Amino acid sequence: MMFLLGPSVVSFAVSMFDRRKLLQENLFIVLISVLVSSVGGLFGTAAFVRLLQLGGKVGGGMIRLSTLSRNVTTALAIACTNVLKGDVSLAILIVLITGVLGATICRSVLDLVGIHDPITRGLAVGGSAQGLGVTSMIPEPDAFPFAAMSMILTAISATVMVSIPSIKDSLVSLAQGDL
C-alpha cells in the first residue's frame, strides 16, 4: 500500500496545478476553511468523546486521546497521537474508519443538504475525510483540487496546533474531562 502512496500524491499535485488559478482566486476561503477544519476537528472531537465518555468514566483517557487526530492524514495522525500520548494503532484505525466513512457518504450527504458549489464540496470533504475522502472527489474535477489542498493543509495545521503546549494541554483537558 505504501508503494502506491507516492503516485497518488503526485496525482493530487497534478490536479491542483491544473486548477492553480482557481485555487489562487479562493485562497482566503481555503485558509479559513482549513482553520475551521483543524480547530473544529480537534476540539470538536475532544468535546464529543468527552460527552460520550468514550472508553468509560475511568481509564478512557488513552482511547479519547487516540481519537483526536481522526481528520488528519495517517502519517501526521501518528505524529499528533505521539504528542498527545495516545495509542498510535488505535489512532490509525480511527483515521482509516473516518476516511472510509467519508469516502462512502460525504458526497451523498452534501447532495442531500443541497451543497453543490465545487469549492465548498472539496473543502468539506478534504478537511474531514483525508485521503480516502479526497479520492472520492475525483469525479468532480473542480472540487477535487480543493479537497486535496484542504486535506494537506488541515493535516499540517492540526499537527502544528497539537505541537503548541497550551493547545495540546487544552485538548487533553477537554477530552479527559478536566475542563
3-state SS of 94-140?
HHHHHHHHHHHHHHHHHHHCCCCCHHHHHHHHHHHHHHHHHHCCCCC
And the C-alpha cell for 56? Answer: 468509560
In which band, very low, low, confident or very high, does the pLDDT at 16 lie, cut at 50, 70 and 90? low
- Other C-beta atoms closer than 10 Å to the C-beta of 40 total 14
Q: Computed from CA positions of residues 26, 27, 28, 31, in that sequence, does the dihedral angle turn out positive or negative?
A: positive
Average pLDDT over residues 8-28: 71
Assigned C-alpha cell, 118: 465545487
CA angle 11, 140, 146 (to 5 degrees): 65
Helix (H, G, I), strand (E, B) or coil at 69: coil
Contact call for residues 102 and 129 (beta carbons, < 8 A): yes
Residue 94 has pLDDT above 90, yes or no: yes
Which phi-psi region, left, alpha or beta, contains residue 100 (left: φ > 0; alpha: ψ -120 to 50)? alpha
pTM: 0.84
Residue 3 has pLDDT above 60, yes or no: no
pLDDT of 138 > 90? The answer is no
The HSE-up count of residue 51 (CA atoms within 13 Å, CB side) is 6
Report the pLDDT value the prediction gives residue 25, as an integer from 0 to 100: 84
Q: Which of 122, 129, 167, 168 is nearest to 149 (CA)?
A: 122
pLDDT of residue 45: 93
The pLDDT assigned to 39 comes to 95
d(CA 50, CA 37): 19
When pLDDT is averaged across residues 54-80 and rounded to a whole number, the result is 85
| Spatial contact of 90 and 61, defined as CB atoms under 8 Å apart | no
* AA identity, residue 28: F
Max CA pair span of the chain? 52
